[in-house]
């Protein structure tokens, strides 16, 4: 997938020099992406044993990461060729978050970057090999590509509709609960809330780490001078330390975050 996308982009007709309007639009798109991810994290933190509305956090996270990664690719093209890619280039990647991530890994996690920056080596190893992250990206990717309208597809008799995203997420959730030794809490109402208070930070930490790895490309990666001007937009994720992963509270309505209170009961 990566090689095909790269070839199609290289063969695209050249554009004029980027305009102020294009730069402004990219600025707005990146800010929207970050706010959607932050909102999605806040919605994810609101999932409990009594709230199983997974559709909304999946929708916002899938849209946020698609926009984030496509913005990154646009800045990479600007750095390498002095122009933004044609619309047809990004169109070929559609809503496929897995393909977008593989394209970014192959194009921007260069040997020079990975060998010269210890954090980059850790990032690319995580992006390539962490099973929980890979499964999470697949779930969001499948949702964005074909599962958003699962119920309507069933109603209208579509052949081979995508799997029910709610059921897919619940299976992923059960697997994580089992790995964390919290699955017994599902049968005990008194322990259910505590189980979710442990599980959701686990999911949030994976999303944050993905966002941080992408954000680092804007500053210490090879995206160039223009990308570094957007540090303020990505600061929430860029400056997260390992100790802070999963420990910030996100506002689902304002796209903001703050440190969680340490006291828990």
For residue 260, the model assigns a pLDDT of: 63
What tens-digit pLDDT sequence spans the chain (265 residues)? 445 455 455 544 556 678 899 999 999 999 999 999 999 999 999 998 889 899 999 999 999 999 999 999 999 999 999 999 988 888 888 899 999 999 999 999 999 999 999 999 999 999 999 999 999 999 999 999 999 999 999 999 999 999 999 999 999 999 998 998 887 766 777 788 888 889 999 999 999 999 999 999 999 998 999 999 999 999 999 999 999 999 999 999 876 677 765 433 3
Nearest 5°: phi and psi at 204? -60, -40
d(CA 192, CA 190): 6
What pLDDT does residue 185 have? Answer: 63
At residue 189, the pLDDT reads 73
The domain locations on the chain are 2-11+20-259
The predicted structure's pLDDT at residue 9: 57
Residue 86: the pLDDT is 87
Question: Is pTM, for the whole model, over 0.75?
Answer: yes
3-state SS, the chain, equals: CHHHHHHHHHHCCCCCCCCHHHHHHHHHHHHHHHHHHHHHHHHHHCCECCECCCHHHHHHHHHHHHHHHHHHHHHHHHHHHCCCCCHHHHHCCCCCHHHHHHHHHHHHCCHHHHHHCHHHHHHHHHHHHCHHHHHHHHHHHHHHHHHCCHHHHHHCCCCCCCCCHHHHHHHHHHHHHHHCCCHHHHHCHHHHHHHHHHHHHHHHHHHHHHHHHHHHHHHCCCCCHHHHCCHHHHHHHHCCCHHHCCCEEEECCCCEEEECCCCCC
The whole-number pLDDT of residue 4 equals 45
> What's residue 7's pLDDT?
40
């Amino acid at each position: 997938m990566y090689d095909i996308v790269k070839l199609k982009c290289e063969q695209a007709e050249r554009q004029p020099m980027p305009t102020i309007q294009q730069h402004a639009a990219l600025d707005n798109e990146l800010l929207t992406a970050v706010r959607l991810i932050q909102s999605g994290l806040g919605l994810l933190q609101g999932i409990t044993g009594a709230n199983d509305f997974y559709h909304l956090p999946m929708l916002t996270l899938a849209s946020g990461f698609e926009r984030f990664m496509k913005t990154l690719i646009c800045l990479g093209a600007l750095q390498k060729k002095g122009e933004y890619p044609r619309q047809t280039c990004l169109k070929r990647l559609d809503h496929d978050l897995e393909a977008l991530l593989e394209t970014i890994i192959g194009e921007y996690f260069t040997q020079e970057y990975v060998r010269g920056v210890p954090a980059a080596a850790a990032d690319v190893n995580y992006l390539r090999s962490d099973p929980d992250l890979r499964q999470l990206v697949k779930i969001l990717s499948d949702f964005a590509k074909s599962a958003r309208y699962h119920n309507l597809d069933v109603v209208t008799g579509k052949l081979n509709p995508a799997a029910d995203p709610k059921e897919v997420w619940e299976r992923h959730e059960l697997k994580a609960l089992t790995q964390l030794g919290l699955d017994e809490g599902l049968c005990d109402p008194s322990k259910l809330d505590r189980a979710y208070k442990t599980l959701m930070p686990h999911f949030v930490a994976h999303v944050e780490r993905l966002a941080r790895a992408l954000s680092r490309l804007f500053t210490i990666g090879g995206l160039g001078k223009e990308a570094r001007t957007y540090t303020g937009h990505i600061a929430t994720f860029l400056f997260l330390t390992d100790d802070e992963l999963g420990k910030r509270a996100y506002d689902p309505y304002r796209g903001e975050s703050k440190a969680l209170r340490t006291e828990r009961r």
